[in-house]
A and B are shown apart, each in its own frame.
Chain A
Amino acid sequence: DIVMAQSPDSLPVSLGERATISCRSSQSVLHSSSDKNYLAWYQQKPGQPPKLLIYWASTRASGVPDRFSGRGSGTDFTLTISTLQAEDVALYYCQQYFTTPITFGGGTKVEIK
Chain B
Amino acid sequence: EVQLVQSGTEVKKPGESLKISCEGSGDSFTTSWIGWVRQKPGKGLEWMGIIYFGDSDTRYNPSFQGQVTISADRSISTAYLQWSSLKTSDTAIYYCATGDSGTYWWGDKWGQGTLVIVSS
Contact = CB atoms under 8 A, between A and B. Distances in A.
B47 A38 contact: no
Contact of A52 (B44, B63, B107, B112): B107
B108 interface: yes
A61 interface: yes
Given A52-B107, A101-B47, 16 more contacts: A38-B104, A49-B97, A50-B45, A51-B110, A52-B106, A52-B110, A61-B108, A95-B47, A95-B106, A97-B105, A98-B104, A102-B61, A104-B44, A104-B45, A105-B44, A106-B44
Contact of A102 (B105, B109, B110, B113): B105
Chain B residues touching A, majority SS: loop
B44 A93 contact: yes
Nearest to A42: B107
Interface residues of B, number: 22
A55 interface: yes
A70 B111 CA distance: 24
A40 B45 contact: no
Contacts of B61: 100-102
B104 A97 contact: yes
Interface size class of A (residues with CB under 8 A): 20 to 34
Contacts of A106: 44
Nearest to A102: B47
A32 to B, nearest CB: 14
